[in-house]
Structure 1
């Protein structure tokens, strides 16, 4: 089942139900815990963020690099959310089974497949689909992690590709449109949206294809390579102003 047809099962010390579709919380100005204290670090995402695929080693994925940076200042416990695949066979905003719970910092990387997925030459997901799924998801993340810093990574794809919205005569960047849609929902939930499409345009962050990667993958020229994961980590760390 997909996110907007079910409740999210989240866990802390005991199982707790977090109802999806509840009103988004009032935007906050969250801050990380004081240095030297425990920090729960939640991670939720697709192949780039949730699995870190196509890095040559697990320790080189952007979320693990970020964790290592956090561990220089805090006592970090990592908490993972769970995703599945939807009817199209992809991980997207609406195919989340559980979100991290009780965290001080949550990083979410979803939306790339919602932007890119095509069937028979047509895009599968509409702007309304994405807006609905993103609003539900980030509202649930905020509800499950009150007071947390929430970070959403932007769409990893080619922002120069043009797309003509239904009812419009003028093409626009689909990636920029999806970043705006998702960013609005993140902000509504009190989170931070960090675009990264400009990093995708740097071929050194994706190429060459055909090299072995951890987990049995082979680089495909689309997903970030080691340099790409490093660039994503540095962008997020800079935006968070980490020590």
Structure 2
């Protein structure tokens, strides 16, 4: 009997997700066991690494309402949860990107990563700051490091939070493509190569009540800006990830 390593199984799922980005339904989640193999009631180490949406949860009205906090509360219904945060710095435009990670969480059973949105949208003057090659290579380096530091973990990468209708013409091409879809595919391929799964987020951005109106008070002295998720957006991200993980 051939035993297929868990990381290989997850990689297969990640490749399918990276190429299709088909949202997993609640019915499907309920009909299959959770991806997390830690027995109920046992300790579970939960790693978080990301940008303003995932790492800080900015623009929610309260820290308890960020999507990673909501996910932690859900996990705590089944396991004894310890959270470990990775650390980052910012680039020249003061944004957190795939290549601005200082430390990744280690020794985790579950790691959620939310990076790539800024790589997709950042502008320097009138040009995009990051090329496809830079994004692809940075994602490969990062997710290889995450996988090495967490060999038994389920690794989840949140897809780009952004407008899929924004068109962009790649070098050497005359046909515009969706910048967000292209970046999701580039990052998703590297996630899958390292045994992770990518959970799409752009459709949640596309539903404007998840980020509008602007000017509503948020924690940390922020107000909603029309781009970042508001409380509804964070709740939608949490529900999407919980569904894809098939949490009990």
State if a TM-score over 0.5 links the two structures.
yes
Name the structure 2 match of 1:16. none
Mapped to 2, the partners of 1:32 and 1:62 lie a distance apart of 22
Mapped to 2, the partners of 1:89 and 1:56 lie a distance apart of 23
Q: Deviations over 1:4-58 (max 9, x none)?
A: xxxxxxxxxxxxxxxxxxxxxx735474311111000000000000000000000
Mapped to 1, the partners of 2:44 and 2:222 lie a distance apart of 31
For the pair 1:178 / 2:159, whether they are aligned, the reply is no
Uncovered stretches (5+) of structure 1, i.e. residues with no partner: 1-25
Higher relative contact order (CA 8 A, sep 6+): 2
Q: Deviations over 1:53-83 (max 9, x none)?
A: 0000000000000000000000000000001
CA contact (8 A) 1:32 1:148 kept: no
Mapped to 2, the partners of 1:77 and 1:140 lie a distance apart of 21
Name the structure 1 match of 2:124. 119
For the pair 1:92 / 2:88, whether they are aligned, the reply is no
1:164 aligns with one of 159, 163, 169: 169
Correspondence 1:47-86 to 2 at 5 A? 47-86=52-91
For the pair 1:135 / 2:140, whether they are aligned, the reply is yes
Name the structure 2 match of 1:188. 193
2:219 aligns with one of 192, 196, 214: 214
Mapped to 1, the partners of 2:44 and 2:36 lie a distance apart of 11
Mapped to 1, the partners of 2:200 and 2:36 lie a distance apart of 21
Q: Which runs of 4+ in 1 moved over 2 A?
A: 26-32
CA contact (8 A) 1:32 1:149 kept: no
SS at match of 2:172: coil
Mapped to 2, the partners of 1:32 and 1:111 lie a distance apart of 28
Name the structure 1 match of 2:8. 27
Mapped to 2, the partners of 1:32 and 1:217 lie a distance apart of 38
Q: Deviations over 1:129-161 (max 9, x none)?
A: 000000000000000001100000000000011
CA contact (8 A) 1:27 1:188 kept: no
CA contact (8 A) 2:36 2:245 kept: no
Uncovered stretches (5+) of structure 2, i.e. residues with no partner: 1-6, 11-34
1:235 aligns with one of 224, 230, 240: 240
Mapped to 2, the partners of 1:120 and 1:106 lie a distance apart of 35
Q: Greater helix share, 1 or 2?
A: 2
TM-score by length of 2: 0.86
